[in-house]
Structure 1
Amino acid sequence: MSREQQIVARARKAFESGRSRPLEYRIYQLKNLKRLFTEKQKEIADAINKDLNRSEVGTQMFETLGLEGEINLIIRKLKEWAAPRPVEKNLMTLSDTVYIQPEPLGVVLIIGAWNYPWAVTIQPLIGAIAAGNAAVVKPSEVCVHTAKVMENLLPLYIDKELYPVVTGGVPETQELLRQRFDHIFYTGNSMVGKVIMEAAAKHLTPVTLELGGKSPCYIDKTCDLSIACRL
């Protein structure tokens, strides 16, 4: 059994234990995640600076502040969002109690992107936690320092069995895609998006693909042209 198989199996076992379902547990995990942003802001910013040469102020503005606001909103609204919603009856259901009950999907896979390596990876994780899911997090291998910090810090603040981090490159991602998930969330280019959708189809796994491929930038004479072209 590969390392990735073991990680996914542990996440599924943790989900099936039911501990991610209570709203109190979800909120506790989200509060801990928010505390991570505050207590480890410098470590996060330093890692992103090494990967993308982004300033600490830029990281705070574009990578963490929005996430804090999202967590605050979820904490305020989660009880309302998770409550059963009554729906209109018809002749078939006239004598029944009819409602829609939101339920967790199960174990989801989140594959992040390099251009905002913290925000676009952690934002879907916030949603997964709020919905009561387990989530396997795969940060972009392009931002190696950010991925390492994510791998080191997340287990210190949130449930490491429910929300494990898998680092590495294409082989690790391919091995993850061989596993069965209940949803896959990917941010990146359309070429990889097709690969992910094909892998998901083997298990009839639903996907959310946030595909772009257009992150324009200026390349001046101080840049290493070979690296810029590769990115």
Structure 2
Amino acid sequence: MIKRRRRRQVDKGAPKWMVTFSDMMTLILVFFILLFSMSVVDAQKFRAIAESFQQRQIFEFLPSAIEFDNTAEEREGDRQDPFEDGQFGESGAETAEVNMDALLAEVQNFLEENNLTEGISATRDDRGVVLVLQERTLFETAEADILPEALPFLEKVGTLLEAIPNMVKVEGHTDSRPISTFRYPSNWELSGARASSVIRHLLDTYDLDPKRFVATGYGDTRPVVPNTSVENLQTNRRVVIVISDPNSEDNQTF
């Protein structure tokens, strides 16, 4: 009797591996949806993106999925100039664009007329106008109390800042010699205290918005010269005042 060979039964539909693969992709999709749902969405950016799609000519025949209380033209009219509300003072309101070259020239002339060029320098880089004050100009060694000799220059800086709206960053720097006192356990505390002292003096003496200022203490991490001699150590002990250029990219991080 001849045995008949059984034909192999061919499974219909998609291969089995594809089912497993589809399950995995579905789980990954659900995972990312959950991450997105738990993230914080910036409402203003979302509205701006939605408005940009609404203004596209290709979508003019479709209504926006987001309802707005007023039109784009009305919202544009509602936007206020930050220099019109007086938050930077009357002088700042009159001068939205500051001539950084003229500002630098005025500071340099003041330094030359008052013989302060040995302890203070004024330059300009991509951040804005940079004022470097050596330690001996501002403080006693290992202290953060401003000396009376520094007041005339700080008065000039405060007067200039009252007339312009620019952001200001004050940096404190030390040399590499360690310090360990009750008030300043390390160079970090000393450099931060010196930057804060300069800002506190400006805010207490002049009509300035505290939101314009940033204090940073770098300790001995950013020397301008190697700490290999007495002169170099003295050079590295400094306070830097950066009057930010409004067009600078660094101004966005303030």
Q: TM-score, normalised by structure 1?
A: 0.29
- Of the two structures, which has the highest relative contact order with CA contacts closer than 8 Å and spacing of 6 or more? 1
Instruction: Flag the structure with larger Rg.
Output: 2
